[in-house]
Amino acid sequence: MKLSWKRYDLQLKHTFRIARNARETVPVMILSLTHDGITAYGEASPNIRYGENIATLNAFFEKVDLTKFDSPFAVDEILRYVAEIEVGNNSAKCAVDLALHDWIGKKLNVPLWKMWGLSPANAPFSSFTIAIDTKEIVRQKVLEAEDFPILKIKVGLENDREMIETIREITGKPLYVDANEGWKTREKALESVRWLKDKNVVFIEQPMPAAQFEDTKWLRDRSEIPLIADESVHYLADVPKLADAFDGINIKLMKSAGLREAVRMIHAGRANNLKIMLGCMIETAVGISAAAQLSPLLDYCDLDGNVLISNDPFDGCRNIKGRLELTKKSGLGAEPFE
Amino acid sequence: MKLSWKRYDLQLKHTFRIARNARETVPVMILSLTHDGITAYGEASPNIRYGENIATLNAFFEKVDLTKFDSPFAVDEILRYVAEIEVGNNSAKCAVDLALHDWIGKKLNVPLWKMWGLSPANAPFSSFTIAIDTKEIVRQKVLEAEDFPILKIKVGLENDREMIETIREITGKPLYVDANEGWKTREKALESVRWLKDKNVVFIEQPMPAAQFEDTKWLRDRSEIPLIADESVHYLADVPKLADAFDGINIKLMKSAGLREAVRMIHAGRANNLKIMLGCMIETAVGISAAAQLSPLLDYCDLDGNVLISNDPFDGCRNIKGRLELTKKSGLGAEPFE
Burial of A310 (0-12, 13-18, 19+ CB in 10 A): exposed
CB contact under 8 A, A264 and B272: no
Name the helix (H) or strand (E) containing A84: helix A75-85
In this prediction, residue B308 carries a pLDDT of 87
Digit-coded pLDDT (tens) for B23-79: 889 999 999 999 999 999 999 999 988 999 999 999 999 999 999 999 999 999 999
CB contact under 8 A, A272 and B271: yes
Partners of B119 on chain A (C-beta within 8 Å) are 74, 76-77
Domain final residue, candidates B77, B93, B109 = B109
In this prediction, residue A159 carries a pLDDT of 83
In this prediction, residue A134 carries a pLDDT of 87
**How close does chain A come to B69, measured CA to CA in Å?**
11
* A28 pLDDT more than 90: yes
Percent with pLDDT over 90 in chain A: 87
Nearest-by-Cβ selection for A117 from B75, B114, B272: B75
CB contact under 8 A, A117 and B270: no
Cβ atoms within 10 A of the Cβ of B319, count? Answer: 23
Order of strands across the sheet that contains A201-205: A128-130, A151-154, A175-178, A201-205, A227-229, A248-252, A275-279, A300-301
Domain final residue, candidates A49, A84, A109 = A109
Digit-coded pLDDT (tens) for B88-97: 999 999 999 9
CA atoms within 13 A on the CB side of A108: 30
With cut-offs at 50, 70 and 90, classify the pLDDT of residue A131.
Answer: confident
Digit-coded pLDDT (tens) for B215-257: 999 999 999 999 999 999 988 999 999 999 999 999 999 999 9
Are A151 and A139 contacting, i.e. CB atoms less than 8 angstroms apart? no
* B151 and B166 both lie in a single domain: yes
Q: What is the mean pLDDT of residues A62-73?
A: 96
With cut-offs at 50, 70 and 90, classify the pLDDT of residue B22.
Answer: confident
Distance CA B278, CA B281 (A): 11
Number of domains in chain B: 2
In this prediction, residue B34 carries a pLDDT of 98
Nearest-by-Cβ selection for A264 from B108, B122, B267: B267
CB contact under 8 A, B76 and A271: no
Q: Which of B34, B64, B118 is nearest to B291 (CA)?
A: B118
CB contact under 8 A, B271 and A264: yes
* B194 and B303 both lie in a single domain: yes
Digit-coded pLDDT (tens) for B149-160: 999 998 888 888
Partners of B115 on chain A (C-beta within 8 Å) are 104, 108, 115
Instruction: Fill in the DSSP letter of residue B230.
Output: S
In this prediction, residue A196 carries a pLDDT of 95
Digit-coded pLDDT (tens) for A35-58: 999 999 999 999 988 999 999 999
CA atoms within 13 A on the CB side of A113: 26
Q: What is the mean pLDDT of residues B10-16?
A: 87
Q: Three-state DSSP class for B24?
A: strand
Distance CA B316, CA B32 (A): 16
Q: Which of B215, B214, B204 is nearest to B247 (CA)?
A: B204
A299: left (phi over 0), alpha (psi -120 to 50) or beta: alpha
Are A43 and A96 contacting, i.e. CB atoms less than 8 angstroms apart? no
Q: For the domain that residue B169 is a member of, what is the CATH number?
A: 3.20.20.120
Q: What is the mean pLDDT of residues A116-133?
A: 93
* A83 and A229 both lie in a single domain: no
Partners of B272 on chain A (C-beta within 8 Å) are 240, 268, 271
ipTM of the complex: 0.93
Closest CA in chain A for residue B104: A115
Distance CA A134, CA A14 (A): 12
Distance CA A8, CA A285 (A): 12
* A12 and A121 both lie in a single domain: no
* A48 and A121 both lie in a single domain: no
In this prediction, residue B318 carries a pLDDT of 93
* B18 pLDDT more than 80: no
Q: Which of B306, B301, B291 is nearest to B323 (CA)?
A: B301
In this prediction, residue A287 carries a pLDDT of 98
Tell me which residues of chain A have a C-beta less than 8 Å from any C-beta of chain B.
73-77, 100, 104, 108-110, 114-119, 121-122, 236-237, 239-240, 243, 260, 263-265, 267-268, 270-273, 296
With cut-offs at 50, 70 and 90, classify the pLDDT of residue B197.
Answer: very high
Are B3 and B65 contacting, i.e. CB atoms less than 8 angstroms apart? no
* A306 and A203 both lie in a single domain: yes
What's the mean pLDDT when you consider all of chain B? 95
**How close does chain A come to B58, measured CA to CA in Å?**
26
* A242 and A319 both lie in a single domain: yes
CA distances from A54 to A7, A9, A28 (A): 8, 10, 7
Digit-coded pLDDT (tens) for A242-298: 999 999 999 999 999 999 999 999 999 999 999 999 999 999 999 999 999 999 999
In this prediction, residue B292 carries a pLDDT of 98
In this prediction, residue A113 carries a pLDDT of 98
What's the mean pLDDT when you consider all of chain A? 95
In this prediction, residue B130 carries a pLDDT of 87
CA atoms within 13 A on the CB side of B218: 12
Q: Where are the alpha helices (DSSP H) in B109-258?
A: 112-115, 135-144, 160-170, 186-196, 213-222, 239-242, 253-256
* B180 and B93 both lie in a single domain: no
**How close does chain B come to A276, measured CA to CA in Å?**
14
To the nearest 10°, the Cα dihedral for B150, B156, B159, B161? 50
Q: Which residues of A59-74 are buried (b: 16+ CB within 10 A; e: fewer)?
A: ebbeebebeebebbbb
CB contact under 8 A, A75 and B263: no
Q: For the domain that residue B62 is a member of, what is the CATH number?
A: 3.30.390.10
Digit-coded pLDDT (tens) for A147-185: 999 999 988 888 889 989 999 999 999 999 999 999 999
Domain final residue, candidates A94, A109, A124 = A109
**How close does chain B come to A267, measured CA to CA in Å?**
5
* B121 and B266 both lie in a single domain: yes
- Is the sign of the CA dihedral B97, B102, B107, B112 positive or negative? positive
In this prediction, residue B27 carries a pLDDT of 97
Partners of A115 on chain B (C-beta within 8 Å) are 104, 108, 115
* B42 and B147 both lie in a single domain: no
Find the domain containing B13 and state its range: 2-109
Instruction: Give the mutation candidate from B106, B109, B119 for the A interface (greatest A CB count, under 10 A).
Output: B119
Partners of A264 on chain B (C-beta within 8 Å) are 267, 270-271
* A137 and A76 both lie in a single domain: no
Percent with pLDDT over 90 in chain B: 87
* A20 pLDDT more than 80: no
In this prediction, residue B45 carries a pLDDT of 97
* A74 and A127 both lie in a single domain: no
